[in-house]
Amino acid sequence: MSTHETSTQELGSRAKPAKAARTVRLNVEQASFAYAASAESAPTFTLGATSFQARERELVAILGPNASGKSTLLRLVSGTLAPLSGRVELDGQETSRLDSRTRAQRIAVVHQESPILYAARAGDFVLQGRHPYGRALRLATTEDVAIARNALAQVGAEHLASRTIGELSGGEKQRVILARALAQQPRLVLLDEPTLHLDIGAQVELLERLRQLAEENQYAVVVVTHELALAAEFADQVVLLHHGTCLRVGSPAAVYQRELLEQVFEAPLDVELGPAGRPRVHLRAGRTEDAT
């Protein structure tokens, strides 16, 4: 566990000195989980004790290959799973103990784009983000409409409000889904592989937008991803997972070490430090001239 502490300190003292003054929003402390078919049988998957913190305006990437425990960690953070040991707190309250309504007012979760059964208009879809604040039929108040409009504006999608979801492109749809999360007015935004169906331009646009939104709205953002390059470019902190074990927590520069990444992602990689102090990762292909 000392690795975690040193890396977090590194981040606080060296990489971004201003961070230390910011309030800690999310505190994950030695949280673990185990899946088992039944109470008696041996667990089929375990997530070992994991610790990290996310401050306001900070973007944390949970990074790892498939089946490394990323989704489990995300579910622990979102409070839909209670940790087997340890704790997950948002502003001092355990996320799994919040009632579903309060939880939805504080934590917004954006999943990989899911198929939408009947074509609702984008505006109505974003208004669904006001669901945890309403009662009974939840007919939209003028305030709800203003918040939804603002959320659409924040993701640059005001012009999409009266289009149906089915007509939107992948990137536009992702923006509308993000706007719904913003309409929840959360303190923590969680994104599960948000770039999966996006082309590279849209991926970069989304992550830049996330950075900017975190800055404007002062919430913490946690992104689950397997995209090494994107996490290096945009994350303040990286939580590296492998086979259910948290290997390293820290700034991208501290976590991105060639041997470590090669072992985790089982691919020949080159890591170099870019001009802004952020690591760059390249796939070292069979021919050596490609590597340099």
Partner 1 sequence: MRPLTLKRLLWTCGALAVVLLACMVLALNLGAVPISVTDLVLNLGRVAIGQSDQLPTEYRLIVFDLRLPRILLGILVGAALSVSGASFQAMLRNPLADPFILGVSSGAAVGSILATLIAPRFTLITPLGAFLGAITTIAAVYFLGRREGELDSTTLLLGGVISASFLSAIVMFLMTALTGRDLRGTVFWLMGDLSTPIQPGLQWIFSVGLLAGIGAIYTTAADLNLLLTGEREAIHLGVDVTRVKLVVYVSASLLTGLAVSASGTIGYVGLLVPHAVRLLFGPDYRLLIPASALCGAIAIVLADTLARTVAAPTELPVGAMTAMAGAPLFIYLLRRGMR
Q: Which stretch binds partner 1 (CB under 8 A): 20-28, 45-53, 110-118, 277-285?
A: 110-118
Alpha helices in the chain (DSSP H): 2-10, 70-78, 100-106, 122-127, 142-154, 170-183, 200-217, 228-234, 252-255, 258-265
Q: Does 136 bind partner 1 (CB under 8 A)?
A: yes
The Cα–Cα gap between 113 and 220 comes to 21
Nearer Cβ to partner 1, position 97 or 101? 101
How far, in Å, are 15, 122, 169 from residue 174 at the CA level? 31, 11, 9
CB of 162 to partner 1, least distance (A): 7
The Cα–Cα gap between 57 and 217 comes to 8
Q: Which stretch binds partner 1 (CB under 8 A): 31-39, 97-105, 204-212, 224-232?
A: 97-105
Nearer Cβ to partner 1, position 108 or 228? 108
Q: Which of 1, 20, 36, 119 binds partner 1 (CB under 8 A)?
A: 119
Q: Which stretch binds partner 1 (CB under 8 A): 40-48, 141-149, 204-212, 260-268?
A: 141-149
Query: How far does Cα 94 stand from its chain's mean position?
Result: 18
CA angle 48, 52, 58 (to 5 degrees): 145
- Across 125-144, b (16+ Cβ under 10 Å) vs e yields bbbebbebbeeeeeebeeeb
Subset of 23-82 contacting partner 1 (CB under 8 A): 78, 80
Q: Does 108 bind partner 1 (CB under 8 A)?
A: yes
Q: How many CB atoms lie within 10 A of CB 201?
A: 9
Q: Report how many residues bind partner 1 under the rule CB under 8 A.
A: 39
Q: Does 95 bind partner 1 (CB under 8 A)?
A: no
Q: Which stretch binds partner 1 (CB under 8 A): 133-141, 204-212, 237-245, 271-279?
A: 133-141
Q: Where do contacts with partner 1 occur on this chain (CB under 8 A)?
A: 78, 80, 100-101, 103-105, 107-109, 111, 114, 116-121, 123-125, 127-129, 131-132, 134, 136-140, 144-145, 148-149, 161-162, 184
